[in-house]
C-alpha cells in the first residue's frame, strides 16, 4: 500500500521497486517510512521454505544480451526458492519466467533503457512482508546502481532478510562505494534472524575487497566459499559474493556458462530451527 506524508505521496526521491505477480497489475513499492518495519497485514500464504533447506541462485544476467540466458534460468533457477539477479532487464521473456515459477518478483529500476529498465531483481516463492528499494548514483558515469532489501516468512515467526545488491563500479576512493552499504547495515543490525546478502559487488581492487570484508565482519556475516571457483574476475579478483548469517552452507557451486559475462552462483543452506528458537529465547530473556 502506498505511503503518504501530509496527504502527499512519499516517493523517496523516486526510488521504488516494481512488483510482478501473476494475474495482478504491476505495482510500485516505495521505501517504507519506518526502517525495518515488517508489514504483518500482508497475506503471507506459504512460507519461503517447506523444510529446513533453502536453495538460492545469484547471477548478473548482463541484461539478457546473450543467448541461452533463459535456458540457464530454466535449468537452475526454477529449482530454487530465491533467485537474485543483477542487471535484470524487464523483458517479456524474463517477466513470464518470473511470474510462472515464483509468487513474487521485485525489481529496482536503476538504468532506464529505451524499452525495458534494468536493475536488481529478486524472485521468491513467498510474498515479501518488507521491501526497501535503494539506489546510488555512479559519481563518474552518473548511472544508478540498485539494491533491494526484502524480508520473507520462513518458519512460524522466523523471518529471513535477503539483500540483493549491484555495487557502485566507477568511483574515486571508497566514499561512495562504502555509502551504499550504510543503510544496508542499519537493516541488518535491526534484523533478528537469518540474513543473505549477495550480488555483484564490483570488487575489482584490493581496497574494495577490504572495505567489503570490513563491512561483513562488522555485520557478523559469513562468506560462502566455492571449491571450484569459476566466478567472474577482474584484475584477478572475484566480483560476485554470497554472505550469510544464522544458517549453515550445505553445498555451493559456480555454473560455467556463456549466457552472461558472469557465472551464476548456487548455494544450498540449512536453516536450523532449533538454533533460531534458542537464540530468540535468549534474546527475549535479556
List the chain domain ranges.
4-284
Band (3; pLDDT cuts 50, 70, 90) = very low
Rounded to two decimals, the pTM is 0.90
**Cα distance between residue 272 and residue 241, in whole Å:** 23
Per-residue model confidence as pLDDT tens digits over 166-190? 998 866 668 888 889 998 999 999 9
Predicted pLDDT at 286: 36
Number of H helices, E strands in the chain: 5, 18
Handedness of CA 168, 174, 180, 181 (dihedral sign): positive
> What is the rounded radius of gyration, in angstroms, for the C-alpha atoms of the chain?
18
Per-residue model confidence as pLDDT tens digits over 84-136? 999 999 999 999 999 999 999 999 998 776 678 899 999 999 999 999 999 98
Band (277; pLDDT cuts 50, 70, 90) = low
Q: Which of 130, 64, 141, 65 is nearest to 98 (CA)?
A: 64
Contacts of 75 (CB under 8 A, 6+ apart): none
Q: Which CATH superfamily is domain 4-284 in?
A: Endonuclease/exonuclease/phosphatase (3.60.10.10)
* pLDDT at position 146 over 80: yes
Q: Find the helix or strand (DSSP H, E) in which 253 lies.
A: strand 248-254
Mean pLDDT over 214-232 rounds to 97
Q: Which cell numbers hold the place of 286?
A: 535479556
3-state secondary structure of 18: strand
Average pLDDT, the chain: 87
Amino acid at each position: 500500500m502506498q505511503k503518504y506524508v501530509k496527504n502527499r505521496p512519499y516517493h523517496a526521491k523516486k526510488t521504488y521497486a516494481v512488483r510482478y505477480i501473476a494475474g495482478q497489475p504491476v505495482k510500485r513499492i516505495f521505501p517504507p517510512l519506518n526502517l525495518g518495519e515488517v508489514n504483518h497485514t500482508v497475506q503471507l500464504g506459504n512460507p519461503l521454505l517447506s523444510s529446513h533447506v533453502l536453495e538460492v541462485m545469484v547471477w548478473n544476467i548482463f541484461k539478457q544480451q546473450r543467448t541461452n540466458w533463459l535456458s540457464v534460468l530454466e535449468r537452475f533457477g526454477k529449482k530454487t526458492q530465491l533467485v537474485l539477479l543483477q542487471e535484470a532487464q524487464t523483458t517479456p521473456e524474463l517477466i513470464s519466467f518470473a511470474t510462472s515459477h515464483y509468487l513474487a518478483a521485485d525489481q529496482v529500476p536503476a538504468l532506464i533503457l529505451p524499452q525495458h529498465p534494468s536493475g536488481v531483481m529478486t524472485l521468491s516463492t513467498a510474498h515479501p512482508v518488507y521491501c526497501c528499494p535503494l539506489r546510488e548514483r555512479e559519481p563518474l558515469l552518473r548511472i544508478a546502481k540498485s539494491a533491494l532489501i526484502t524480508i520473507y516468512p520462513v518458519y512460524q515467526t522466523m523471518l529471513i532478510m535477503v539483500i540483493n545488491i549491484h555495487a557502485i563500479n566507477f568511483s574515486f576512493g571508497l566514499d561512495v562505494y562504502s555509502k551504499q552499504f550504510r543503510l544496508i547495515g542499519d537493516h541488518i543490525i535491526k534484523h533478528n534472524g537469518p540474513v543473505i546478502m549477495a550480488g555483484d559487488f564490483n570488487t575489482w581492487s584490493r581496497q574494495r575487497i577490504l572495505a567489503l570484508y570490513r563491512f561483513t565482519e562488522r555485520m557478523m556475516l559469513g562468506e560462502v566459499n566455492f571449491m571450484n571457483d569459476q566466478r567472474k574476475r577482474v584484475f584477478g579478483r572475484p566480483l560476485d559474493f554470497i554472505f550469510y548469517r544464522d544458517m549453515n552452507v550445505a553445498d555451493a557451486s559456480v555454473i560455467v556458462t556463456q549466457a552472461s559475462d558472469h557465472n551464476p552462483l548456487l548455494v544450498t543452506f540449512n536453516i536450523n530451527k532449533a538454533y533460531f528458537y534458542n537464540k530468540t529465547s535468549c534474546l527475549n530473556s535479556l
